[in-house]
Each structure stands twice: as structure tokens, then as C-alpha cells.
Amino acid sequence: MRFAICNETYAGWDLEAIASHAAGLGYEALELAPFTLAADPRALTTNDARRIGETVRGAGLEVSGLHWLLRAPEGLHLTTPDEAVRASTRRFVIHLAHLCAEMGGRYLVWGSPAQRSLEPEWDRADAFARAVETVRAVAEEAQRVGVIVAMEPLPPSYTNFLTCAAEGRAFVHAVDHPACRLHLDVNAMSHEETPIPEVIRASGEELAYFHANDPCLLGPGMGEVDYGPIRDALQAVGYEGWMSVEVFDDSPGPERIARESLRYLRSIF
């Protein structure tokens, strides 16, 4: 297992300092949120991306990929019936795929719950089809530059679209493209009725990327989830990809979160 950490954990730190600290603890990669790199990531050029990758590698890390893709700019959406908005969203995520590739990353983790949720009047089957069409178009270009789109199921408290791993798998199958795979997140899986190890075992063929955290919103080992069964399930499906620490409560501070999360993960894996 290879360990990464999301850069927004270090709120207010510059990228060089983040990379240096994470590398010093023993992480092997950073997962980057585009909105932390530019107020409007559309302004980022491939040269900018290349420099970002060089900064991260200069500390001895890799860029594993990008996540929280649609946080900024405003006005993007995956399932909307507004064709112009979907076209803008498609172009933007393709732009992110190119940036990711230039940084040396390989994964686009597509969560962004607010930018995919359905309005009450929208037909669910139609919205699903619109999302499939959009993601397939992104996957076509992502594959060309060596990037994989990893769709992230999220709990119903976050969104009403792709709210469990089974829905995520069905979506990946509908897209039916080798550059569209599944992302799993421990916090999200903890809200499912199916136990986390069973979710992982059912998702082995589609699984491309993994977030380590806890339903308490802190890092792995900082809450109640036992990662022993998670380890066993990941080993059973042959997962050898990134395990990236993503937290939503930064109150303990980035140094403690990063240190304790990695210490726990190493003790398990």
C-alpha cells in the first residue's frame, strides 16, 4: 500500500511546505484540490501544472491526482439538463485531466456532491444518462493523457446522486470506458447498510482509488473504524493503489492529523 495525503489538510500552507512536511513523515504522494492551487483553476496552464509537479517531486513525493474537482469555479454541474452548463463542466474536467497529467498524477477523483445533486423536478433516469454521457466524454480525453476518472459515491446527507458503492459501480458500468473507474471512501462507506469490507469485496473489479478517513471526520485511527478488516478486504481484491488521507475536521491541526494518520495506517498495513 502506498500512502498519500490531501493538500487541503494543510490549510494556509504553501505547497512547498506541505510537500516537505508530508515527505518528512513518510508519505509518498500529495493529492491536490484544484481550488487550493488557483481561485479559478481554469486559469492554470500546463506550464503551471508542470511547475506544481516539479515542486512536489522536489520534496521527494509524487502527485497522486486531483480531487474536489468542481469546488471552483461556480456554475459547474454534472447532471443538470442545461446543456451549456454540462458542456462547460465537461471542458473544465478535461482541462483538469491535462493539468493532472502534466503534474505527473494519474487520478481525477470525482466527488463534488453539490455539483451533481438532482433537483426534485428532474427525471432520475434522464439525469443518469446525462452524467454518463458527460463522464464518458471526459474519460475519452483522460485516457489519451494517461489519467483515470474515479467516481466517488457519497452519503445521502451529501448528495442524492451516486449515494452508495452499488450505484457507483452501476454508473461505471454504464459509462463503459477503461478510464472510468470507482473510488471508495471510508467515511462514505460507513453510512451504508452493507459493512465496509463487503462493499470493498463487491467493488474490487472497479476500484481504482481509496480515501482513508473516519465518520468522525478525522483521519484513519482517530475514530472508531477498525482498519484491520478493511486491510483484509483490500488484500482479498488485490488492491495495490493509493490510500490517501482525506479529513473534514482540521481542528487537531495538520501536523497531528498527518502524523497520527500515517502512524496508524502503517501499523495496520
Q: Dihedral angle at the C-alpha atoms of 67, 33, 138, 76, nearest 10 degrees? A: 110
**Residue whose entry in the numeric block shows the C-alpha cell 433537483:** 119
Given this model, what pLDDT does residue 122 score? 98
Phi/psi at 159 (5° precision) = -160, 165
First-to-final CA distance of the chain: 7
Residue 15: the pLDDT is 98
Question: Which CATH class, in words, describes the domain spanning 2-268?
Answer: alpha beta
Residue 235: the pLDDT is 98
| 156 close to 190: Cβ distance less than 8 angstroms | no
HSE, side-chain direction, 13 A CA sphere, residue 94: 15
Cα separation values, 148 from 67, 75, 143, Å: 12, 24, 7
Whether pTM > 0.95 for this model: the answer is yes
pLDDT at 258: 98
**What pLDDT does 110 receive?**
98
SS3 212: strand
Domain ranges of the chain: 2-268
Give the C-alpha distances (Å, rounded to integers) separating 229 from 86, 196, 232, 260. 39, 8, 5, 19
Would you say 103 and 31 are in contact if contact means Cβ atoms under 8 Å apart? no
* Residue ranges, the chain, pLDDT below 50: none
Question: What pLDDT is attached to residue 45?
Answer: 98
Q: How far apart are CA 51 and CA 44, in angstroms?
A: 11
Grid look-up 443518469 returns 128
Cβ contact 56:111 at 8 Å: no
Helix residue ranges per DSSP H, the chain: 15-25, 46-58, 83-103, 124-144, 165-175, 186-189, 196-202, 227-236, 254-268
